[in-house]
Chain A
Amino acid sequence: MPASFLFGQFLGGLTTAMFLFLIASGLSLVFGVMRVLNFAHGSFYMLGAYLAWQVVQWLTSSGYGFWIAVVAAAAGVAILGGVIERLLFRHLYGREELYQLLFTYALVLILGDAAKAIWGTQQLSVSRPAILAGGVEVFHTVLPFYNLFIMALGPAVAVGVWLVLTRSTAGRLVRAAALDREMLAVLGANVGVIYTGMFVASSFLAGLSGALVTPIQSIVPGMDVEIIVEAFIVVVIGGLGSFWGTFWGSVLYGQVLSFGILIFPSFSLFSVFALMAVILIIRPWGLFGRPVR
């Protein structure tokens, strides 16, 4: 097998990985603090994609239409996430996990049908922004600028979130909330606001990744339930609640998917599910997570 081909597979896997990281990072943040697996995260991602498409339609004349659409979509989804958390979700804290899981599943059902009602069932697509339209040839493999941008954005977001979590006061409060919610509340911090903030940030990341994926993938109903399983796998591989685990989990996922296709051509999906199962069996807390009590 020629080296350039393998390199192409590697780059393809890396692009997939960084997309998945953008999506899964929000899921991981919410799980880390609130201990809730949010099935609706995939729906937020899908809404981000649809909103971006909508804004691009409105702004066809503007040269920066795509970038405005990306920001608007992420902000719109963030607001929706905040409203849902404030009005509904907070009433389920302290209830059994099953009820929280099913609540987020109810959102999946409702948001999926709402998107269908608004945007229909046909495939929609957004063209690449003009500034990133071309590509560069590396080792006989054409690498689109857009993919390069995503490959740079993923680590940038990772470092950014990590800096906020470790260096800022807000980040310290978030980490404290993840460790011991009651103690933090006793010390006078408003845990409710921290939770809302986490949910907003996580929805923002979901909306952002949904908007950014539109030039590469067409927008279709069902992308929500498909992506959420992939994001779960990434988060579980890296370790539930571990932020860097999610980063390396997505890198591993991308490569396993990319090279899995070469080994089992028709069972590439199988290879990533099997990876998740093996990791859960050997290290249930994931590669970078810590065992929970």
Chain B
Amino acid sequence: MTVPWSGNRIPWTLMVFLAALWVPWLGSRYDTFLGTQIAIDALFAVSLNLLLGTTGLVSFGHVAYFGIGAYICGILMKTYGVPFALALPAAWLGAAGFALVFGFFCVRLTKIYFAMLTLAFSQIAWAICFKWNGVTGGDQGLPDVPYPDLDWMSALPGLDGLRVSDRFYLLTLALVAVSLAALRRIIGSPFGRMLTAIRENPERAAFIGVNVRRYELAAFVVAGGFAGLAGALFGIFNRGVFADYLYWTKSAEVMIMAILGGMEHFWGPVVGAATLVMLNQQITSYTEYWPFVLGVILLVLLFAFPGGIVGGLVAGVNWLRRRGGGRQSA
């Protein structure tokens, strides 16, 4: 297996960000809606992939931190009137804090036991959010989370004519881009390389003196924090926070995004999120049986393209390059 994203000179984060910036001007209201959802899901899926692809930890409860972030941000903004600029970092830190507590226990287990304990914690979080009427709104959820105050954007050149959803899209895009850049730096750092070493061979990593658990816990906390950030943005985007956000099936959905795009590449989960969101929009306009379609996609993926879309593309490009190289030398 290659060490991904090394020696790559093209600033992909910047290029995708610059391209996506134009959506409010070139696209419709619907495109903005799709763009916001893709950006949020992309961050969520990449944060999961820090565990899944980079560290080799199968977390079946990643949705807990997404939901916790959403609730923290939503409760602070709606119930206490805290400004977004404070609620968002609070959601990030809060989700990371919960990830630290839950993760402390989870990383002591491996493989299927790790997956089960993460699932157990996410269901505990779900059960609490579903029943704690006084704080989370219980099964009614927390509707009407307000949009952040984005009037300051009209002071910026070119942004004064935009709708509030367009402004929120730009804000989301900027936050997601910064987060993705940060995650990419983390994965490319010596710390990130060590996570990959742990994925490849935890025993050997332990032999050379690495505290495997501590590294795994650190990855768990970072992933949880960014998932919380994605959740906070999603709560505002969806105009409400509901216990459904934390149900275990959502953990599977984000996992499908990561795998559909390709876990072995940094951009895989982003591609997977974009593909899945757009497919969902297309298919749900024809049929109510989206889960069925998703199940079939997943089957095809598992049996035919285990490397996902990006994995398949990279394999194809390498094959072409080898053929091209062969011809030149002949």
Contact = CB atoms under 8 A, between A and B. Distances in A.
Residue with the highest number of chain B CB atoms closer than 10 Å, among A97, A113, A233, A274: A113
A139 B302 CA distance: 56
Interface string A81-125: 000000010011001011101110111111011101100000000
B120 interface: yes
A233 B122 CA distance: 13
Given A106-B298, A267-B128, A270-B124, A277 B292 contact: no
A117 B292 CA distance: 10
Given A108-B295, A270-B127, A92 B302 contact: yes
Contact of A116 (B117, B123, B247, B289): B289
Interface string B124-166: 1001101101000000000000000000000000000000000
Given A232-B119, A280-B109, A105 B128 contact: no
A281 to B, nearest CB: 5
A236 B259 CA distance: 26
B298 A109 contact: yes
A229 interface: yes
Nearest to A228: B248
Contacts of A98: 52, 58, 255, 259
B302 A102 contact: yes
Contact of B306 (A99, A117, A267): A99
B124 A274 contact: yes
A229 B303 contact: no
A284 interface: yes
Interface string B178-202: 0000000000000000000000000
Interface of B: 52, 58, 60, 105, 108-109, 111-113, 115-117, 119-121, 123-124, 127-128, 130-131, 133, 247-249, 252, 255-256, 259, 289, 291-292, 294-296, 298-299, 302-303, 306
18 contacts: A35-B112, A88-B299, A92-B302, A97-B58, A98-B58, A99-B306, A102-B255, A103-B298, A105-B298, A106-B299, A110-B291, A240-B112, A240-B113, A267-B131, A270-B124, A280-B117, A281-B117, A284-B113
